[in-house]
Amino acid sequence: MDLSLAQMAEAFARRDRTFDGRFVVGVTSTRIYCRPSCPARRPKPDNCRFFNTAAEAEGEGFRPCKRCRPCEVARDAAAVEQALLLLRAQARPVPLAELAEACGYSPTHLQRVFTRATGLSPAAFGRALRQEAARASLSGEGKVTEAIYAAGFEGASTFYAAMEGTLGMTPSAWARGGAGVTITWAVAATSLGPILVAASAKGVCRISFNEGEDELRARFPRAELVKGGADFAALLQQVVAAIEEPGTAPDIPLDVAGTAFQQRVWEQLRAIPPGETRSYGQIAAALGQPGASRAVGSANGANPVAVLVPCHRVVQASGALGGYAYGEAIKRELLRRERKG
């Protein structure tokens, strides 16, 4: 879909990386054209000309910026896609130098464009893929040791180190569906309705509006549920504060499990500044997978921690609010408070 001049000017003003490759900006005072996310100082609006392609800009006598290299967007995207294919095809850590050689890039440049496109470094992305494979293996009937090697880990020590803070429980407990894990929970009153807060020893694992013990037990059928007391009050107050006065609460540790793709989407959600919104398409583009809007929507809907992982900041491409698990009224009010604050 063609962009309007207003859309291009707005994307350029905010250095929106999700628009890279969709248009370029020519600066008449320097005769240089840039990609929307170029980090250089912004020129005066009267000196800007917008082109749908780099070829159009060069046809008008503009030359590519040496800082943001707008003519290399397509090449960078192809290199990232090739690196992703290689990482997914290997059940082992792939050295950055090996990836870079296969893509025809220097290791430093591949690291930069890959991280910019996916939100993760090649090494972190590879670890996430192996973690996802481990979760799938541990959910079956096989032994933990077999799952460790099947997922591409060299041994138990590297497996436990990589999974630290991501499984939310020991691998053997994960294999038993969470048996033996203690989850403390409570329901607190807020101006938007009752909020359920549940946490393991590592962090918050569930936040939801208008739910209680029955819904929590359905989500964690094999865990030991303990009603929170005075020692749980401080965490409960922090979560309530995040709802009542967005931006005032400290960072709250989370203990959420998801696929590698879901985790990447949730990280993108947490990167959206309070008061701002993104569309599913923009998040998919930021992940380097512009065709994955529906998958982003599914990951957004699977978010187990309302507010702290702000899925309410995702709207339709038209700007309409779109759906929300806890109702449009709560979504609208959360956004209003963030914009006001």
Phi then psi for 145, rounded to 5 degrees? -60, -40
Smallest CA-to-CA distance from 18 within 36, 40, 44, 4 is with 36
Note whether 93 and 86 are within 8 A (CB).
Answer: no
103 is a catalytic site residue: no
For 246, phi then psi, to 5°, come to: -55, 135
Active-site residue identified among 38, 48, 71, 311? 311
Which residues partner with 279 through β-bridges? Answer: 315
Per annotation, catalytic residue among 34, 48, 68, 71: 34
Do 181 and 216 form a contact (C-beta atoms < 8 A)?
no
Residue located via tokens 């939801």: 208
Distances (CA, A) of 89 to 7, 86, 121, 152, 311: 38, 5, 17, 11, 31
Query: Using CB atoms within 10 A of its CB, is residue 59 exposed (0-12), middle (13-18) or buried (19+)?
Result: exposed
Determine whether 311 is an active site residue: yes
Token pair of 149, please? 């090697």
The residues annotated with a catalytic role in the active site are 34, 311
